[in-house]
Every structure is written in structure tokens, then in C-alpha cells.
Homo-oligomer: A and B are copies of this chain.
């Protein structure tokens, strides 16, 4: 695998043309195990850990993908959207650090935080915590210091303001809310850093399973706010980590 890493370094340095790199990448990169094509080089390209999206996969399929990854030298593996049963099945084979709220786990050890600053993960209410934990855990496993501030919805503005120091000193903020999703705008207006807004499906009636929060966040008047899919805690944590590891 190391040659791929070197290859990509050379692409960045201009020593190898991308044309040649594309050809090389095409030859090496994945194992075909029937029900899935397992990337075995992505660690090199997009981060230190490889990710398995667990939704809709059986424990057996997940274990097969883990085995293939590790066989190819991938030690750190994040597995998202797995319930306790699947986590239990995986734990019998591998040492799994599992986050029950976020339904997410990691095989291998979390790296030391090496980002620019702190990623703040804020939620509007208690019911948003599962999405928040998915985001926070993801960011931590990708080497970030994470600060959680939960249940700070704007209908109780004093709660939001109580965390003004955290908000103003954050490196990146993940603002997670269902219902009316106003948290993103208020934090976006206060903060001086990129804000990743995650609408959640929390709510009832005219929340339409997250549509209300999604539209609200997309229309935020605050600058610096971008949005992920509904309930996409992993995506928010991943992107926040990318931003928190920008290099000058």
C-alpha cells in the first residue's frame, strides 16, 4: 500500500502526472468480495480511517468487509449506523469502541487530537443527541478535540448565550437541530468560524421528518453556514475534521 501513498505525494508534488496516477489507482485499489467492493487505499487518500456504512448490511457482511480491510493493512475502521445487536456481534471478533447513542463504533484506536482547534457540537434539544453523538464520535476518531453543548435551542436563548465562549472560540461548529432548525442561524450569526448545519428528523406534524429544519437551515441568513442531509451526523463530523485539519 505504501507505494500508493508515495504515488499521491508525487502527484501533489508534480513528480507524477495525474494521468499516470489515475491508471495506477485503477489497478490497485479495491478488493471485490461479491456483495461489496472494498476500498483498500482510501486511508491514504481521504483520512486515517476507513468507514463502513452499516445500515442495511448484516453482521456477517460487515465482518467480511472488516476482515478484508484489515487483511490489506487497514487498522482503524469506523462503522456507522449499527445497533447494539450488530455491535455485539462485531465485538466478539474485534475490539470495538462503541458509542450507543450515536450507533457508531471504531476498531483500532482513536488518534490523538491534532487539529487546528476545537470542534463544537451543539444541539437544539435532547432528542437530537443521537445525531450529535454520531458527529462527535466521528470527529474524535478522526483526530479532533470535541466540545459537546447539548440542549441549547434558541427558544431558551439564555442557554445558548451561556455557551458564548465556546461558540466564539470554536474552530468549526456543528449545529444540529430538528423542528424549526433555528439554531444554525443564531450560532452562525454569533460565530466567526465555519458552521455545518445538520437538520434532524426530530419533531412531528409539519416538521415532515426533517424537511422543515432542512429548509430553514438552507435559508439561513448567517454567512458561513452550509448544510448536510437530514440526520447526517457522520458527514458533518467528517467535513468538520477536514476543515479543522486545513494546512497552510
- Residues of A bordering B, CB below 8 Å: 8, 11-12, 17-19, 21-23, 25-26, 29-30, 35-37, 39, 45-46, 51, 55-57, 61, 116, 124-127, 129, 150-159, 161-162, 164-165, 168-169, 171, 178-182, 184-186, 188-190, 192-194, 196, 199, 201-232, 235-236, 238-239, 242-244, 246-248
Residues of B within 8 A of A188 (CB): 155
Residues of B within 8 A of A236 (CB): 226
Contact A221 B124 (CB under 8 A): yes
| Pairs A–B under 8 Å by Cβ, sample size 9 | A12-B168, A18-B165, A26-B158, A56-B127, A116-B248, A157-B186, A205-B210, A207-B219, A215-B216
The complex places the Cα of A37 from the Cα of B129 at a distance, in Å, of 13
Q: Which of B157, B164, B190, B232 contacts A190 (CB 8 A)?
A: B157
Q: Which of B126, B158, B182 contacts A22 (CB 8 A)?
A: B158
Contact A221 B158 (CB under 8 A): no
